[in-house]
Structure 1
Amino acid sequence: MSHNQQQTKGHRSEATRDAILSTAERLFAERGLNNVSNRQVSEAAGQGNNAAVAYHFGTKTDLVRAIVRRSSGPIAERRRALVERISGSTRPRDWISCWVLPVVEHFESLGSPTWHARFGAQVNAEPEFRQIVVEEALTDPTLDVILEGLNRCLPPLPADVRIARNYMTRQLIVSTLADCERVLAEGRETPYVSWNKAANTLADALVGLWLAPVTTEPPSVDREANRRPAR
Protein backbone atom coordinates (compact mmCIF):
# COMPACT_ATOMS: atom_id res chain seq x y z
CA MET A 1 0.00 0.00 0.00
CA SER A 2 1.39 3.40 -1.02
CA HIS A 3 1.87 6.29 1.40
CA ASN A 4 -1.07 8.17 -0.16
CA GLN A 5 -3.30 5.12 0.17
CA GLN A 6 -2.33 4.76 3.83
CA GLN A 7 -3.15 8.43 4.42
CA THR A 8 -6.53 8.06 2.70
CA LYS A 9 -7.33 4.99 4.77
CA GLY A 10 -6.28 6.81 7.93
CA HIS A 11 -8.50 9.78 7.10
CA ARG A 12 -11.47 7.50 6.41
CA SER A 13 -10.90 5.69 9.70
CA GLU A 14 -10.71 9.00 11.59
CA ALA A 15 -13.88 10.25 9.89
CA THR A 16 -15.65 7.02 10.84
CA ARG A 17 -14.54 7.36 14.47
CA ASP A 18 -15.76 10.98 14.58
CA ALA A 19 -19.12 9.98 13.10
CA ILE A 20 -19.53 7.22 15.66
CA LEU A 21 -18.58 9.51 18.57
CA SER A 22 -20.97 12.26 17.49
CA THR A 23 -23.81 9.82 16.89
CA ALA A 24 -23.27 7.99 20.17
CA GLU A 25 -23.14 11.26 22.10
CA ARG A 26 -26.47 12.35 20.60
CA LEU A 27 -28.21 9.03 21.15
CA PHE A 28 -26.93 8.69 24.70
CA ALA A 29 -28.02 12.27 25.44
CA GLU A 30 -31.51 11.65 24.07
CA ARG A 31 -32.22 8.13 25.34
CA GLY A 32 -29.79 7.33 28.14
CA LEU A 33 -26.76 5.06 28.07
CA ASN A 34 -28.50 1.81 28.95
CA ASN A 35 -31.17 2.29 26.27
CA VAL A 36 -28.76 2.43 23.33
CA SER A 37 -26.74 -0.51 22.03
CA ASN A 38 -23.46 -0.42 20.12
CA ARG A 39 -25.35 -1.88 17.16
CA GLN A 40 -27.84 1.01 17.20
CA VAL A 41 -24.97 3.50 17.30
CA SER A 42 -23.29 1.82 14.30
CA GLU A 43 -26.52 1.86 12.29
CA ALA A 44 -27.35 5.49 13.13
CA ALA A 45 -23.80 6.51 12.21
CA GLY A 46 -24.33 5.05 8.74
CA GLN A 47 -21.94 2.13 9.15
CA GLY A 48 -22.72 -0.95 7.10
CA ASN A 49 -20.83 -3.05 9.61
CA ASN A 50 -22.94 -3.33 12.77
CA ALA A 51 -19.78 -4.15 14.73
CA ALA A 52 -18.16 -0.82 13.82
CA VAL A 53 -18.28 0.46 17.40
CA ALA A 54 -16.57 -2.64 18.71
CA TYR A 55 -13.98 -2.47 15.92
CA HIS A 56 -13.06 1.18 16.48
CA PHE A 57 -13.57 1.51 20.25
CA GLY A 58 -14.30 -1.80 21.98
CA THR A 59 -16.97 -1.94 24.67
CA LYS A 60 -19.63 0.64 25.48
CA THR A 61 -17.48 1.72 28.42
CA ASP A 62 -14.60 2.40 26.02
CA LEU A 63 -16.95 4.37 23.77
CA VAL A 64 -18.23 6.50 26.65
CA ARG A 65 -14.67 7.19 27.78
CA ALA A 66 -13.73 8.30 24.24
CA ILE A 67 -16.68 10.73 24.16
CA VAL A 68 -15.69 12.17 27.53
CA ARG A 69 -12.07 12.58 26.43
CA ARG A 70 -13.05 14.34 23.21
CA SER A 71 -14.29 17.30 25.28
CA SER A 72 -12.14 16.98 28.40
CA GLY A 73 -8.95 17.82 26.49
CA PRO A 74 -10.11 21.21 25.09
CA ILE A 75 -11.75 22.08 28.42
CA ALA A 76 -8.53 21.33 30.31
CA GLU A 77 -6.56 23.60 27.97
CA ARG A 78 -8.99 26.48 28.51
CA ARG A 79 -8.90 25.86 32.26
CA ARG A 80 -5.10 25.97 32.43
CA ALA A 81 -5.01 29.29 30.57
CA LEU A 82 -7.62 30.82 32.87
CA VAL A 83 -5.87 29.60 36.03
CA GLU A 84 -2.64 31.20 34.85
CA ARG A 85 -4.45 34.53 34.40
CA ILE A 86 -5.94 34.63 37.90
CA SER A 87 -3.06 32.96 39.77
CA GLY A 88 -2.73 34.39 43.28
CA SER A 89 -6.29 35.74 43.38
CA THR A 90 -7.98 35.98 46.77
CA ARG A 91 -11.50 36.19 45.30
CA PRO A 92 -13.53 32.94 45.54
CA ARG A 93 -15.44 33.85 42.38
CA ASP A 94 -12.24 33.90 40.32
CA TRP A 95 -11.50 30.30 41.26
CA ILE A 96 -15.12 29.23 40.78
CA SER A 97 -15.04 30.82 37.31
CA CYS A 98 -12.02 28.66 36.46
CA TRP A 99 -14.18 25.65 37.28
CA VAL A 100 -17.24 26.75 35.31
CA LEU A 101 -16.22 29.05 32.47
CA PRO A 102 -13.97 26.67 30.48
CA VAL A 103 -16.79 24.13 30.30
CA VAL A 104 -19.33 26.72 29.15
CA GLU A 105 -16.93 28.25 26.63
CA HIS A 106 -16.26 24.83 25.13
CA PHE A 107 -19.98 24.07 24.73
CA GLU A 108 -20.59 27.48 23.18
CA SER A 109 -17.73 26.91 20.71
CA LEU A 110 -19.45 23.77 19.39
CA GLY A 111 -22.35 25.69 17.89
CA SER A 112 -25.96 24.56 18.17
CA PRO A 113 -27.34 22.06 18.73
CA THR A 114 -24.87 20.44 21.10
CA TRP A 115 -25.32 17.23 23.03
CA HIS A 116 -22.38 16.92 25.39
CA ALA A 117 -23.96 18.59 28.44
CA ARG A 118 -26.99 16.30 28.25
CA PHE A 119 -24.72 13.34 27.58
CA GLY A 120 -22.85 14.29 30.76
CA ALA A 121 -26.09 14.35 32.72
CA GLN A 122 -26.97 10.87 31.47
CA VAL A 123 -23.51 9.57 32.41
CA ASN A 124 -23.87 11.17 35.83
CA ALA A 125 -27.15 9.30 36.35
CA GLU A 126 -25.54 5.88 35.78
CA PRO A 127 -23.18 4.74 38.58
CA GLU A 128 -21.43 2.23 36.32
CA PHE A 129 -20.41 5.03 33.93
CA ARG A 130 -20.14 7.96 36.35
CA GLN A 131 -16.76 6.72 37.56
CA ILE A 132 -15.35 7.31 34.07
CA VAL A 133 -15.91 11.06 34.44
CA VAL A 134 -14.35 11.01 37.91
CA GLU A 135 -11.30 9.13 36.64
CA GLU A 136 -10.84 11.50 33.71
CA ALA A 137 -11.17 14.55 35.99
CA LEU A 138 -8.41 13.19 38.20
CA THR A 139 -6.02 13.31 35.24
CA ASP A 140 -6.31 17.13 35.13
CA PRO A 141 -4.03 18.58 37.84
CA THR A 142 -5.47 22.04 37.24
CA LEU A 143 -8.61 21.06 39.14
CA ASP A 144 -6.45 20.51 42.24
CA VAL A 145 -4.91 23.95 41.74
CA ILE A 146 -8.41 25.46 41.55
CA LEU A 147 -9.53 23.74 44.75
CA GLU A 148 -6.36 24.83 46.55
CA GLY A 149 -6.83 28.41 45.39
CA LEU A 150 -10.50 28.37 46.39
CA ASN A 151 -9.75 26.90 49.80
CA ARG A 152 -7.26 29.70 50.51
CA CYS A 153 -10.07 32.23 50.01
CA LEU A 154 -12.58 30.49 52.26
CA PRO A 155 -13.09 30.44 55.99
CA PRO A 156 -12.00 27.16 57.63
CA LEU A 157 -14.35 24.31 56.68
CA PRO A 158 -14.48 20.78 58.08
CA ALA A 159 -13.14 18.15 55.69
CA ASP A 160 -16.54 16.47 55.28
CA VAL A 161 -18.13 19.82 54.39
CA ARG A 162 -15.49 20.47 51.73
CA ILE A 163 -16.06 17.03 50.23
CA ALA A 164 -19.84 17.52 50.24
CA ARG A 165 -19.64 20.96 48.62
CA ASN A 166 -17.22 19.67 45.99
CA TYR A 167 -19.76 16.98 45.11
CA MET A 168 -22.63 19.48 45.10
CA THR A 169 -20.64 21.79 42.83
CA ARG A 170 -20.16 19.06 40.24
CA GLN A 171 -23.82 18.06 40.41
CA LEU A 172 -25.03 21.64 39.99
CA ILE A 173 -22.74 22.27 37.03
CA VAL A 174 -23.85 19.09 35.25
CA SER A 175 -27.59 19.60 35.76
CA THR A 176 -27.66 23.34 35.06
CA LEU A 177 -25.65 23.11 31.83
CA ALA A 178 -27.72 20.14 30.63
CA ASP A 179 -30.91 22.17 31.12
CA CYS A 180 -29.40 25.18 29.35
CA GLU A 181 -28.27 23.04 26.42
CA ARG A 182 -31.71 21.47 26.13
CA VAL A 183 -33.46 24.83 25.88
CA LEU A 184 -30.96 26.17 23.34
CA ALA A 185 -31.15 22.99 21.23
CA GLU A 186 -34.94 23.19 21.13
CA GLY A 187 -34.64 26.69 19.69
CA ARG A 188 -36.86 28.26 22.29
CA GLU A 189 -36.27 31.99 22.17
CA THR A 190 -35.93 33.27 25.68
CA PRO A 191 -33.99 36.21 27.10
CA TYR A 192 -33.31 34.18 30.23
CA VAL A 193 -31.22 31.35 28.77
CA SER A 194 -27.78 31.58 27.15
CA TRP A 195 -24.40 30.03 27.78
CA ASN A 196 -23.15 33.34 29.18
CA LYS A 197 -26.09 33.63 31.58
CA ALA A 198 -25.61 30.02 32.63
CA ALA A 199 -21.94 30.68 33.42
CA ASN A 200 -22.69 33.78 35.49
CA THR A 201 -25.64 32.25 37.32
CA LEU A 202 -23.64 29.14 38.16
CA ALA A 203 -20.62 31.08 39.37
CA ASP A 204 -22.78 33.30 41.59
CA ALA A 205 -24.67 30.35 43.05
CA LEU A 206 -21.50 28.34 43.68
CA VAL A 207 -19.83 31.24 45.48
CA GLY A 208 -22.84 31.29 47.78
CA LEU A 209 -22.62 27.54 48.23
CA TRP A 210 -18.96 27.62 49.26
CA LEU A 211 -19.38 30.66 51.54
CA ALA A 212 -22.51 29.34 53.23
CA PRO A 213 -22.34 28.93 57.02
CA VAL A 214 -21.81 25.47 58.47
CA THR A 215 -24.42 24.08 60.83
CA THR A 216 -22.72 21.88 63.40
CA GLU A 217 -25.93 20.54 64.93
CA PRO A 218 -28.71 18.75 63.00
CA PRO A 219 -31.90 20.76 62.46
CA SER A 220 -34.23 20.39 65.39
CA VAL A 221 -37.93 20.96 65.88
CA ASP A 222 -39.21 22.81 68.92
CA ARG A 223 -41.56 20.10 70.07
CA GLU A 224 -43.00 22.20 72.90
CA ALA A 225 -43.94 25.00 70.50
CA ASN A 226 -45.58 22.60 68.08
CA ARG A 227 -47.27 20.33 70.58
CA ARG A 228 -51.02 20.14 70.16
CA PRO A 229 -53.03 21.48 73.11
CA ALA A 230 -54.35 18.75 75.37
CA ARG A 231 -58.04 18.02 75.04
Structure 2
Amino acid sequence: MTAAPSSPARGGTRDELKRAARRLFAERGIAAVGMREVVETAGQRNAAAVHYYFGTKDDLLRELLIDGADLIDARRRALFDAAEAAGEPDLRAVVEANVMPCIDLGGDTGEGETYFRFIVNVQNERRALFSATVPEHSPGYARYLAHVHRLLAPLPAATVNQRLLFAGLALQTLVAAREAALDRSDTGDHHFWSRPEALTGIVDAVEAILTSPAG
Protein backbone atom coordinates (compact mmCIF):
# COMPACT_ATOMS: atom_id res chain seq x y z
CA MET A 1 0.00 0.00 0.00
CA THR A 2 1.32 3.47 -0.84
CA ALA A 3 1.99 5.59 2.20
CA ALA A 4 0.14 8.87 2.53
CA PRO A 5 2.32 11.96 2.12
CA SER A 6 3.65 13.35 5.37
CA SER A 7 2.49 16.66 6.82
CA PRO A 8 5.76 18.44 6.00
CA ALA A 9 5.39 17.47 2.33
CA ARG A 10 1.82 18.72 2.23
CA GLY A 11 2.85 21.91 3.98
CA GLY A 12 5.73 22.39 1.58
CA THR A 13 3.52 22.04 -1.49
CA ARG A 14 0.93 24.38 -0.01
CA ASP A 15 3.55 27.00 0.79
CA GLU A 16 5.08 26.73 -2.68
CA LEU A 17 1.67 27.31 -4.25
CA LYS A 18 1.04 30.34 -2.05
CA ARG A 19 4.41 31.88 -2.80
CA ALA A 20 4.02 31.32 -6.53
CA ALA A 21 0.44 32.64 -6.57
CA ARG A 22 1.27 35.80 -4.64
CA ARG A 23 4.17 36.59 -6.96
CA LEU A 24 2.09 36.06 -10.10
CA PHE A 25 -0.78 38.17 -8.74
CA ALA A 26 1.68 40.88 -7.65
CA GLU A 27 3.47 41.05 -10.99
CA ARG A 28 0.59 40.52 -13.42
CA GLY A 29 -2.63 41.29 -11.61
CA ILE A 30 -5.46 39.08 -10.44
CA ALA A 31 -7.58 38.45 -13.53
CA ALA A 32 -4.56 37.72 -15.75
CA VAL A 33 -3.41 34.74 -13.70
CA GLY A 34 -5.02 31.31 -14.03
CA MET A 35 -4.78 28.53 -11.48
CA ARG A 36 -2.99 26.19 -13.89
CA GLU A 37 -0.24 28.80 -14.21
CA VAL A 38 0.08 28.94 -10.42
CA VAL A 39 0.52 25.18 -10.33
CA GLU A 40 3.14 25.22 -13.08
CA THR A 41 5.06 28.13 -11.52
CA ALA A 42 5.13 26.30 -8.19
CA GLY A 43 6.67 23.29 -9.93
CA GLN A 44 3.71 21.02 -9.23
CA ARG A 45 2.38 18.41 -11.65
CA ASN A 46 -1.17 18.03 -10.36
CA ALA A 47 -3.31 20.56 -12.24
CA ALA A 48 -5.92 20.42 -9.46
CA ALA A 49 -3.45 21.25 -6.69
CA VAL A 50 -4.80 24.74 -6.04
CA HIS A 51 -8.37 23.43 -5.79
CA TYR A 52 -7.22 20.62 -3.49
CA TYR A 53 -5.36 22.89 -1.05
CA PHE A 54 -7.41 26.09 -1.18
CA GLY A 55 -10.73 25.63 -2.99
CA THR A 56 -11.56 28.47 -5.36
CA LYS A 57 -9.42 31.32 -6.61
CA ASP A 58 -11.23 33.63 -4.20
CA ASP A 59 -10.41 31.27 -1.33
CA LEU A 60 -6.74 31.43 -2.29
CA LEU A 61 -6.85 35.24 -2.49
CA ARG A 62 -8.44 35.44 0.95
CA GLU A 63 -5.78 33.24 2.50
CA LEU A 64 -2.99 35.27 0.93
CA LEU A 65 -4.59 38.50 2.16
CA ILE A 66 -5.00 37.13 5.68
CA ASP A 67 -1.44 35.82 5.88
CA GLY A 68 0.04 39.26 5.32
CA ALA A 69 -2.60 41.16 7.29
CA ASP A 70 -2.05 38.98 10.36
CA LEU A 71 1.72 39.35 10.06
CA ILE A 72 1.52 43.14 9.82
CA ASP A 73 -1.12 43.58 12.49
CA ALA A 74 0.65 41.48 15.11
CA ARG A 75 3.64 43.82 14.81
CA ARG A 76 1.38 46.88 14.75
CA ARG A 77 -0.44 45.84 17.94
CA ALA A 78 2.87 45.27 19.71
CA LEU A 79 4.05 48.77 18.81
CA PHE A 80 0.79 50.33 19.95
CA ASP A 81 0.93 48.37 23.20
CA ALA A 82 4.39 49.79 23.87
CA ALA A 83 3.45 53.34 22.86
CA GLU A 84 0.23 53.34 24.88
CA ALA A 85 1.94 51.95 27.98
CA ALA A 86 3.56 55.36 28.46
CA GLY A 87 0.30 57.29 28.01
CA GLU A 88 -1.44 58.70 24.96
CA PRO A 89 1.07 58.57 22.07
CA ASP A 90 1.70 61.64 19.91
CA LEU A 91 1.10 61.65 16.17
CA ARG A 92 4.68 60.73 15.26
CA ALA A 93 4.54 57.61 17.44
CA VAL A 94 1.13 56.70 16.03
CA VAL A 95 2.33 57.03 12.43
CA GLU A 96 5.49 55.02 13.14
CA ALA A 97 3.39 52.26 14.75
CA ASN A 98 1.34 52.07 11.57
CA VAL A 99 4.17 52.36 9.04
CA MET A 100 7.05 50.33 10.43
CA PRO A 101 5.19 46.97 10.59
CA CYS A 102 4.81 47.22 6.79
CA ILE A 103 8.59 47.21 6.31
CA ASP A 104 10.55 43.98 5.79
CA LEU A 105 7.68 41.60 6.48
CA GLY A 106 9.58 38.36 6.11
CA GLY A 107 6.93 35.65 6.38
CA ASP A 108 7.00 31.89 5.94
CA THR A 109 5.91 32.06 2.30
CA GLY A 110 7.79 35.16 1.20
CA GLU A 111 5.22 37.81 2.10
CA GLY A 112 8.02 40.38 2.25
CA GLU A 113 8.86 39.77 -1.40
CA THR A 114 5.50 40.60 -2.98
CA TYR A 115 2.70 41.29 -0.47
CA PHE A 116 2.22 45.02 -1.03
CA ARG A 117 2.22 44.79 -4.81
CA PHE A 118 -0.26 41.93 -4.42
CA ILE A 119 -2.66 43.91 -2.21
CA VAL A 120 -2.47 46.93 -4.50
CA ASN A 121 -3.67 44.71 -7.35
CA VAL A 122 -6.37 43.09 -5.21
CA GLN A 123 -7.71 46.50 -4.23
CA ASN A 124 -7.67 47.68 -7.84
CA GLU A 125 -9.40 44.58 -9.21
CA ARG A 126 -11.25 42.99 -6.27
CA ARG A 127 -12.01 45.79 -3.84
CA ALA A 128 -15.08 44.08 -2.36
CA LEU A 129 -13.12 40.92 -1.55
CA PHE A 130 -10.36 42.97 0.08
CA SER A 131 -12.84 44.99 2.15
CA ALA A 132 -14.68 41.85 3.27
CA THR A 133 -11.47 40.10 4.32
CA VAL A 134 -8.79 42.38 5.72
CA PRO A 135 -10.49 44.66 8.30
CA GLU A 136 -11.34 41.85 10.72
CA HIS A 137 -7.68 40.86 10.69
CA SER A 138 -6.50 44.40 11.38
CA PRO A 139 -7.50 45.47 14.92
CA GLY A 140 -4.17 47.29 15.22
CA TYR A 141 -5.09 49.41 12.21
CA ALA A 142 -8.39 50.30 13.91
CA ARG A 143 -6.32 51.59 16.85
CA TYR A 144 -4.32 53.73 14.41
CA LEU A 145 -7.51 55.25 13.00
CA ALA A 146 -8.84 56.00 16.49
CA HIS A 147 -5.61 57.70 17.54
CA VAL A 148 -5.50 59.85 14.40
CA HIS A 149 -9.09 60.97 14.93
CA ARG A 150 -8.23 61.80 18.55
CA LEU A 151 -5.14 63.80 17.62
CA LEU A 152 -6.79 65.65 14.72
CA ALA A 153 -10.05 66.24 16.58
CA PRO A 154 -10.24 69.98 15.76
CA LEU A 155 -10.67 69.04 12.09
CA PRO A 156 -14.01 67.83 10.68
CA ALA A 157 -14.27 64.04 10.69
CA ALA A 158 -14.76 64.03 6.90
CA THR A 159 -11.46 65.88 6.46
CA VAL A 160 -9.64 63.45 8.75
CA ASN A 161 -11.11 60.48 6.88
CA GLN A 162 -9.99 61.96 3.56
CA ARG A 163 -6.46 62.44 4.86
CA LEU A 164 -6.39 58.91 6.24
CA LEU A 165 -7.39 57.61 2.82
CA PHE A 166 -4.71 59.64 1.04
CA ALA A 167 -2.09 58.69 3.64
CA GLY A 168 -2.98 55.01 3.30
CA LEU A 169 -2.73 55.12 -0.48
CA ALA A 170 0.61 56.93 -0.28
CA LEU A 171 1.96 54.39 2.21
CA GLN A 172 0.95 51.43 0.05
CA THR A 173 2.49 53.01 -3.05
CA LEU A 174 5.76 53.83 -1.31
CA VAL A 175 6.10 50.43 0.35
CA ALA A 176 5.20 48.65 -2.90
CA ALA A 177 7.88 50.65 -4.73
CA ARG A 178 10.44 49.75 -2.06
CA GLU A 179 9.37 46.11 -2.16
CA ALA A 180 9.77 45.95 -5.94
CA ALA A 181 13.22 47.56 -5.88
CA LEU A 182 14.50 45.18 -3.20
CA ASP A 183 12.92 42.22 -4.98
CA ARG A 184 14.84 43.05 -8.16
CA SER A 185 18.12 43.21 -6.28
CA ASP A 186 20.33 40.12 -6.26
CA THR A 187 21.59 41.03 -2.79
CA GLY A 188 18.32 42.18 -1.20
CA ASP A 189 19.88 45.64 -0.86
CA HIS A 190 19.14 48.89 -2.69
CA HIS A 191 21.16 52.09 -2.89
CA PHE A 192 18.13 54.22 -1.94
CA TRP A 193 15.42 52.10 -0.37
CA SER A 194 17.71 50.25 2.05
CA ARG A 195 18.93 53.46 3.65
CA PRO A 196 17.45 54.50 7.04
CA GLU A 197 16.67 57.92 5.57
CA ALA A 198 14.24 56.33 3.13
CA LEU A 199 12.27 54.72 5.94
CA THR A 200 12.24 57.98 7.87
CA GLY A 201 11.05 59.68 4.70
CA ILE A 202 8.08 57.33 4.40
CA VAL A 203 7.03 58.16 7.95
CA ASP A 204 7.56 61.87 7.21
CA ALA A 205 5.38 61.66 4.09
CA VAL A 206 2.48 59.96 5.87
CA GLU A 207 2.66 62.39 8.78
CA ALA A 208 2.78 65.37 6.40
CA ILE A 209 -0.41 64.25 4.64
CA LEU A 210 -2.23 63.96 7.95
CA THR A 211 -1.04 67.34 9.29
CA SER A 212 -1.10 69.50 6.15
CA PRO A 213 -2.73 72.93 6.59
CA ALA A 214 -6.45 72.94 5.90
CA GLY A 215 -7.31 74.27 2.47
Counterparts of 1:133 and 1:198 in 2: how far apart (Å)? 28
Name the residue aligned to 2:152.
154
Name the residue aligned to 2:35.
38
TM-superposed CA distance for 1:98, in Å, is 1.2
TM-superposed CA distance for 1:109, in Å, is 9.7
Name the residue aligned to 2:9.
12
Per-residue CA deviations over 1:106-158 (Å, capped at 9, x if unaligned) read: 259988981222212222221xx233333333212222222222222225222
Structure of larger gyration radius: 1
Counterparts of 2:152 and 2:209 in 1: how far apart (Å)? 11
What secondary structure, in the 3-state scheme, does the structure 2 residue paired with 1:89 have? coil
Q: Indicate whether 1:21 and 2:18 are aligned.
A: yes
Counterparts of 2:111 and 2:149 in 1: how far apart (Å)? 36
Q: How does the TM-score come out when normalised to structure 2?
A: 0.85
Mind listing any 5+ residue stretches in structure 2 that lack a counterpart?
A: none
2:36·2:47 contact (CA, 8 Å) conserved in 1? yes
Q: Indicate whether 1:141 and 2:139 are aligned.
A: yes
Per-residue CA deviations over 1:35-57 (Å, capped at 9, x if unaligned) read: 11011101111221111111211
Mind listing any 5+ residue stretches in structure 1 that lack a counterpart?
A: 216-231
The aligned amino acid for 2:124 is: A
The aligned amino acid for 1:80 is: R
TM-superposed CA distance for 1:18, in Å, is 0.5
Counterparts of 2:184 and 2:6 in 1: how far apart (Å)? 37
What secondary structure, in the 3-state scheme, does the structure 2 residue paired with 1:33 have? coil
Stretch moving more, 77-86 or 98-107: 98-107
Equivalent residue for 1:85, pick from 82, 87, 90: 82
1:20·1:42 contact (CA, 8 Å) conserved in 2? yes
1:180·1:195 contact (CA, 8 Å) conserved in 2? no
1:124·1:130 contact (CA, 8 Å) conserved in 2? yes
Name the residue aligned to 1:191.
191
Name the residue aligned to 1:63.
60
Change in 2 beyond 3 A, CA 1:30/1:38: same
Q: CA RMSD, aligned part only?
A: 2.6
2:18·2:109 contact (CA, 8 Å) conserved in 1? no
Counterparts of 1:153 and 1:113 in 2: how far apart (Å)? 31
Counterparts of 2:197 and 2:129 in 1: how far apart (Å)? 29
The aligned amino acid for 2:203 is: A
Counterparts of 1:22 and 1:15 in 2: how far apart (Å)? 11
Per-residue CA deviations over 1:63-82 (Å, capped at 9, x if unaligned) read: 11111112222211111110
Name the residue aligned to 2:128.
131
Identity of aligned residues (%): 31
Name the residue aligned to 1:101.
100
Change in 2 beyond 3 A, CA 1:175/1:37: same
Q: How does the TM-score come out when normalised to structure 1?
A: 0.80
Change in 2 beyond 3 A, CA 1:108/1:178: farther
2:182·2:193 contact (CA, 8 Å) conserved in 1? yes
2:73·2:139 contact (CA, 8 Å) conserved in 1? no
Q: Indicate whether 1:214 and 2:214 are aligned.
A: yes
Counterparts of 2:145 and 2:209 in 1: how far apart (Å)? 14
Equivalences, count: 209
